[in-house]
Structure 1
Amino acid sequence: MIEFPDLSRLVRPESVALIGASDTPGSIGKLTVDNLVEASEFRGRVHLVNPRRREIGGRVCHPDVAALPEAPDVAVVCIPAAGVLDALRQCAAKGVRFAIVLTSGFSETGEAGRALQEEMRGIARTSGMRIYGPNCPGLTNLADRIGMTFSPAFADDRTSGPLGIATQGGGLGRNILQSGVRGSGAALWASLGNAVDLDVADFVHHMAADPAIRVIVTLFEGIRDGARLLAALRAAAEAGKPVVTLKVGHSAYGERAVQSHTAAMAGSAAVNSAVLAQLGVVEVRDTDELVDVAWLLARATPPARTRVALFGASGGALSLAADLVGSADLEPAELADDTRASLRADLPAFAAVDNPVDTTATTISEPGLFDRALRTVAGDPGVDLVLMPIPLDYAERSATSSRAIAAAQEQTDVPIVPVWMSDRRGPGWQVLADASFCSPRSLTKAVLAVRRWAEYGRWRAAAEAHPPAVPLLLRADEPGTVAALPAVDTEPRAKAWLSAAGVPVPDGEVVQSAPAARAAAERLGCPVVVKIVSSELPHKSDVGGVAVDVGSGAAAEDAWRQVTEHVALKAPHAATGGVLVERMVPADGVEMIVGVHRDPVFGHLLTVGAGGVLVELLDDVQRRLLPVGRPQAEEMVAALRCHALLTGARGRPACDVDGFVDLLVAVSDLVVAHAHQIEEIDLNPVRVRPADGDEARVVVLDALVTVASDGPRDC
């Protein structure tokens, strides 16, 4: 069971000490004092610590932490790195609950800095005092106007709102926070820096229970503790709070930049994305998208089905919007007859009253028409969202329209999404921002945000219908309670284990001589496949250890000699255990790959995709954390681009998709039973054959199972 700290006294402290408080203009210590004492609305007790000052700004300065009149809830540390560890030890001895270390000079600087940071981690572990940072801009609570930060921008970033922001970086986090000027707004921003102790996951968990926060925004540069993150994201999902994240490090260049910035491991982008999507996290690729999506999710909870209505006064902008909506596979709303009749009654005869609804420029001179028409469209029972392109700024006339948009939104739960496309930000833009419309900057960005909103609605509905299982990494099973794993070091042994669990494999025999190969082939029925057996040769074909389509007993004898000679020549030091003679499965159907691997951050994942020679060529795979049940397995297969091949595209016979799904569930169950021992399973190819055949319709043609080299271990 993963436990999270109670951060309420960190976020809303009653007393704060500033270690390194200063009155030197421009210094970190003075900026921090000014933010907490002058720019904040903090009503608690503030204690200043500086051995070289008696007072700062009329407030008493204490020489050290030990001299403080109380143990404060939070100590903000902004002294040079050389003195930080001693200050933290003093804080721990005093009984301080939380320390925010603003100072840089730790793991981001190299080996010496990493050693200092390890000492800092030890202080947190042995004392129980929780440490935030180091190398961070601090903690910003906008809901209560408390700034425990040195940032000179704090005094100007006053827009509070429903977002909770947890980041590792400071610059991008402030960029997200400053989107408040266009109408978003945040209740809390935690920028963790090097995250020696407290991490993003701790704040996601806190935000899941914070009533001031409706949507959680995260920005990751690296993920160290997958179990804590999974537990925090599950808490957010159970609280009904969407999580929108930007994960830096999708390219090799990006990964190198992340490591040079924070010394954090970026992790596998493909695995990260798969895990986040499985938990309902909306992953985005830049900060504009992050803000647009988070704002839209905070404005309204998306339904399982999203029907979009387009509304505006520019036919060209509406046509462009319609094209983008169609390209994004969003569903256009079908307006009701009553809606169209009301629009015809209000608007000029030349206005368009189907979706898109074009009020034409007439509404410039008659703004009341615009107001009534918008309310009519937003009130249609078949409309889930209204997208409004605003291509130009008409000064006060645009402000009138913006006020109508704000008034209409107050009377409906259907989100209205105005898109301010003009580079001129006149009074109309400001009206929308003041009314908390975080207007996207372009139609492309707006449609992408709506698409993400709709995708989250579908995930939410699917999760309610089939609640996802607890990820294997979070299960509390002890190694001693799992089933014993038989020897699986060779293909025949791995297949025997799979077959005993109900996974279909071809009939086969292991033989030790050419005559035995002939006899086995004749018993099994030709054609057969002949393969060398060796735990040291996972890729047998690379050394000539495989012969296929062997059509007779005599040919099987020759194949036995052929594969053994090739292996002896190309891999003379490999230990072999005979030859596997296996009945050859007809080459109809589709070859797939099924794999399991233990990710170092998130634990076991199941991978399914196009297999055989197509696996590298197509890169068509889906991944899920284990365990997966039948609904999740069906979803994985349906999401593959090669799904059409399985279901009978272009006159091909439909394959046994149900049987293939059964295989995925069986593999998941096997790994759950042996999670502490299984490192990897590679079933490639798996032949998925036509569903109307008489023989086995799903067969594992090759199997490789790797166990943990150091024995059973945690998932």
Structure 2
Amino acid sequence: MTTMDGFFTPSSVALVGATDKSGWSLSTFNNLRDPEHGYPGEVYLVNPRTEVVHDTQAYPSLTAIGKPVDLAYVMTPVSVVPQVLREGAALGTRHYVVLTAGYGEIGGEGAVHEQELADLAEELDLVVLGPNGNGFINAAMKINPYGLPIPKPLISGNVGVVLQSGGLASNVLAFAQARNIGVSLLTSMGNETVVSVTDVVSALVDDPNTKSIALFLEAIRNPEEFREVAARALAAGKPIVALKVGRSEKASRTAQAHTGALVGDDKTVDAVFKQLGIVRVESLEDLMVTAGLLAETGPLPGRRIGVVTPSGGASEIIADRAEMEGLDLPDFSPETTAALEVIVPPFATVANPLDVTGFVLLDRTLLGRAAEAAAKEPGIDLVVLLQDLPKATPSMEDTVAAYTANAQILANSPVPVVVMGNVLTDINEVGREITRASNYPMVLGGIEHGMAAIGHAVRWSETYRRAQERSGSGERAPVVPVRTQDATGVWAEHRAGSFLREHGVPIVPTELVSDAEAAAAAADQVGYPVVLKAAAEGLAHKSDIGGVHLGLVDAEAVSAAFNAMQASLAQHGHPDAEAIIQPMRSAGTELLVGVVRDPQWGPTLAVAMGGIWVEVMADSALRVLPVDRQEVREALEELRGVSLLRGARGMPATDLDALAAVIHQVGEIAVGLGEELESLEINPLLVHGDRIEALDALITWRADEDNGSAPGSDAEITDATERRRA
């Protein structure tokens, strides 16, 4: 990972390739020299063909400046960039922003130039942001080498923004300013040839001016680094909010098993983000509103909210959105109700959400006093207060006084108070002046985005607390390698089941037999009724060709079934097929437990309700391995069908901790098998009270020739994924 020490705080900047013909050059110069932005350092212009640029002295080269600069902002043609870097490195300049385009984004020769740039940076030990990027805005330190105009006012705050889109950077900044969301640092990444998103996020984790981090991601280039820096951010209590684009319906390449259909590319990203405590949002508005809220509040104590509004209609909208976000609206206690009845007008009804009515137009202190009383309710964790900032006021003095009084009440509240506007509109200069003068807190942009942000913030806070609890329980045990021989092809149920049993996974009793007499003896041993299934390599659709017999109740039935099975299989080219005998399970809940290797993130665990649940409802939860038992337990709790496991409709309740232990062991085996494993599936894992048994298993190994595609014919795949009925 590239160290960013000092990169975002240069005391001098050289604009190399500065010219009056370039809007980027003029914008960058103005951003550094604008008195409102207040950059205190030195700015040098470098152009070998003219002595004056932007009405300022220009130097023919970096060397001509006479001393090294802290940062070179490079706007020269592609062919000149290496020369600039070599000259600067010789002078002692290690930090560069390369605005120039024409690299890997155009392919062909551009990709060659980009590799040359990467090699040169490594050779000279240089830190390079870009190429094809606009630079950065360090609003907290008033340092803005950024190639596009910065809309005013530039509001400094605590949200760090990292974007893999130069075109969106200015829009994100404009929206943040329109909603009074202060930015600490905004970085436009460009091609990430040297400096990556994870490098910048790592710097923001260490930055005292940053309290939350907003990411716009098109791709995650280094998953391991990303996981590492996200874990650091969570441990530091710095929320990461991400808008990750590129959702795809394309399933994993290992979709030969049911698990593969559950573990698509974007579903795995969802799982990774959830595990790492990254808040995933769906719009640029939610990106900034959520990051702004988390920068303002930090971790929230819980999901029980009290709502105070001046509108009955707004109260109803908020109640609906709260339910959608999984937030609770508990009734006020008798004591709180009594306190509120003294405050609100007599025609108001005290309830949660509370509508204090339009009487706020006559009594400017009403909302604040109602919020103060609601905040003392012992059954809530935070108060949501609906109050917009005005766009005009007949008396700024009176308005500031009213908002100052409310701000003091909110600041002294025993629980956090989140202020929210009705709709997403810009905060104008009147609103900003009121905020500055009264020290009023951030106002979330509209009920829709505001409630979404509160829901995200509550869920992140719960993840953060769980992470804090886990951090005190010691480091995770190291991976224990699992050794096996002949890790090739597809291992169907008998071989896969035997392997899993040897490594601690409970498997239904299974006997391999080669004739009718042995089949009957095995059935006597395991107990009736039994299941007889053909066991032969490459056998497709066993049930279609007489290879599956269910509910056999005595030895005679077993012998007859075996003979019938052999005769049928012989007609289909399998005269020497063996069979397996297992007890017939007639009660329980089916689960699918599988692991597939995601191309980016590695082995990924899928837990799903089996049977029709997985085939029709796709009721599943994913975790990227490794995980601990508590994370598996949390995955089980996410399933919509978890009530079946808890004993719904007369079913015996399952010990979810014991079930999580079994699934966790499957994950440990998968991790221990290492890179050779492509996928591992148990389908179904049958759960009935205290009994937990795998009824069918499949293991697929990675092919040597491409180190990624799964071997095995369609026949092997279909055969191995047939479920044995419980």
The TM-score normalised by the length of structure 2 is 0.85
The aligned residue for residue 721 of structure 2 is: none
Deviation at 1:143, TM superposition (A): 0.5
Deviation at 1:194, TM superposition (A): 1.8
Q: How does 1:589-628 map to 2 (within 5 A)?
A: 589-628=588-627
Q: How does 1:70-89 map to 2 (within 5 A)?
A: 70-89=67-86
- Residue 627 of structure 1 aligns to which amino acid in structure 2? P
Following the alignment from structure 2 to structure 1, what is the Cα–Cα distance between the partners of residues 430 and 51?
A: 52
The aligned residue for residue 257 of structure 2 is: none
The aligned residue for residue 469 of structure 2 is: 465
Determine helix, strand or coil for the equivalent of 2:484. Answer: coil
One of 99, 102, 115 as aligned partner of 1:102: 99
Deviation at 1:548, TM superposition (A): 4.2
- Residue 167 of structure 2 aligns to which amino acid in structure 1? G
Deviation at 1:10, TM superposition (A): 0.9
Task: Say if 2:166 is the partner of 1:167.
Answer: no
Structure 1, 448-457 or 239-248: larger mean CA deviation: 448-457
Structure 2 unaligned residues grouped into runs of 5+: 251-263, 709-726
Following the alignment from structure 1 to structure 2, what is the Cα–Cα distance between the partners of residues 600 and 64?
A: 46
CA 1:357–1:230 in structure 2 vs 1: closer, same or farther (change >3 Å)? Answer: same
The aligned residue for residue 410 of structure 1 is: 411
Following the alignment from structure 2 to structure 1, what is the Cα–Cα distance between the partners of residues 520 and 329?
A: 65
The aligned residue for residue 453 of structure 1 is: 457
Instruction: Assess if the C-alpha contact under 8 Å between 1:29 and 1:78 holds in 2.
Output: yes
Structure 1, 555-564 or 284-293: larger mean CA deviation: 555-564
What RMSD over aligned residues (CA atoms) do the two structures have, in Å? 3.5
The aligned residue for residue 16 of structure 2 is: 19
Following the alignment from structure 1 to structure 2, what is the Cα–Cα distance between the partners of residues 128 and 250?
A: 36
Q: How does 1:193-342 map to 2 (within 5 A)?
A: 193-251=190-248, 268-342=265-339
Structure 1 unaligned residues grouped into runs of 5+: 254-266, 570-575, 692-696
Instruction: Assess if the C-alpha contact under 8 Å between 2:606 and 2:622 holds in 1.
Output: yes
Instruction: Assess if the C-alpha contact under 8 Å between 2:103 and 2:111 holds in 1.
Output: yes
The aligned residue for residue 704 of structure 1 is: 698
Deviation at 1:674, TM superposition (A): 2.7
Structure 1, 410-419 or 393-402: larger mean CA deviation: 393-402
- For residues 377-408 of structure 1, the C-alpha deviation after alignment (integer angstroms, 9 at most, x for no partner) is 33544443222335896953897365544343
Deviation at 1:193, TM superposition (A): 2.0
The aligned residue for residue 184 of structure 2 is: 187
The aligned residue for residue 365 of structure 1 is: 362
Deviation at 1:464, TM superposition (A): 2.5
Q: Which has the higher contact order (CA 8 A, sep 6+)?
A: 2
CA 1:698–1:196 in structure 2 vs 1: closer, same or farther (change >3 Å)? Answer: same
Following the alignment from structure 2 to structure 1, what is the Cα–Cα distance between the partners of residues 544 and 288?
A: 50
Determine helix, strand or coil for the equivalent of 1:317. Answer: helix
Deviation at 1:147, TM superposition (A): 1.1
- Residue 634 of structure 2 aligns to which amino acid in structure 1? E
The aligned residue for residue 568 of structure 1 is: 573
Structure 1, 676-685 or 484-493: larger mean CA deviation: 484-493
CA 1:38–1:183 in structure 2 vs 1: closer, same or farther (change >3 Å)? Answer: closer
Following the alignment from structure 1 to structure 2, what is the Cα–Cα distance between the partners of residues 424 and 217?
A: 20
Percentage of matched positions with identical amino acids: 31
The aligned residue for residue 497 of structure 1 is: 499
Deviation at 1:230, TM superposition (A): 0.4
Structure 1, 61-70 or 389-398: larger mean CA deviation: 389-398
Instruction: Assess if the C-alpha contact under 8 Å between 2:16 and 2:72 holds in 1.
Output: yes
The aligned residue for residue 176 of structure 1 is: 172
CA 1:665–1:181 in structure 2 vs 1: closer, same or farther (change >3 Å)? Answer: same
The aligned residue for residue 585 of structure 2 is: 586
- For residues 123-170 of structure 1, the C-alpha deviation after alignment (integer angstroms, 9 at most, x for no partner) is 233332122112212111100111111111x26251010101111112
- Residue 665 of structure 1 aligns to which amino acid in structure 2? H
CA 1:47–1:532 in structure 2 vs 1: closer, same or farther (change >3 Å)? Answer: farther
CA 1:292–1:333 in structure 2 vs 1: closer, same or farther (change >3 Å)? Answer: farther
Determine helix, strand or coil for the equivalent of 2:464. Answer: helix
Determine helix, strand or coil for the equivalent of 1:449. Answer: helix
Determine helix, strand or coil for the equivalent of 2:145. Answer: strand
Deviation at 1:74, TM superposition (A): 2.1
Following the alignment from structure 2 to structure 1, what is the Cα–Cα distance between the partners of residues 281 and 366?
A: 38
Instruction: Assess if the C-alpha contact under 8 Å between 2:169 and 2:188 holds in 1.
Output: yes
Deviation at 1:30, TM superposition (A): 2.7
Deviation at 1:372, TM superposition (A): 3.0
Following the alignment from structure 1 to structure 2, what is the Cα–Cα distance between the partners of residues 294 and 553?
A: 65
- Residue 499 of structure 1 aligns to which amino acid in structure 2? R
Following the alignment from structure 1 to structure 2, what is the Cα–Cα distance between the partners of residues 167 and 494?
A: 45
Instruction: Assess if the C-alpha contact under 8 Å between 2:130 and 2:193 holds in 1.
Output: yes
Deviation at 1:285, TM superposition (A): 0.8
- For residues 260-318 of structure 1, the C-alpha deviation after alignment (integer angstroms, 9 at most, x for no partner) is xxxxxxx9211011111111111111112122211221221334423211112222322
Following the alignment from structure 1 to structure 2, what is the Cα–Cα distance between the partners of residues 396 and 327?
A: 36
Deviation at 1:545, TM superposition (A): 5.6
Deviation at 1:704, TM superposition (A): 1.5
Following the alignment from structure 2 to structure 1, what is the Cα–Cα distance between the partners of residues 429 and 147?
A: 33
Deviation at 1:683, TM superposition (A): 1.2
Q: How does 1:663-674 map to 2 (within 5 A)?
A: 663-674=662-673
The aligned residue for residue 719 of structure 2 is: none
The TM-score normalised by the length of structure 1 is 0.86
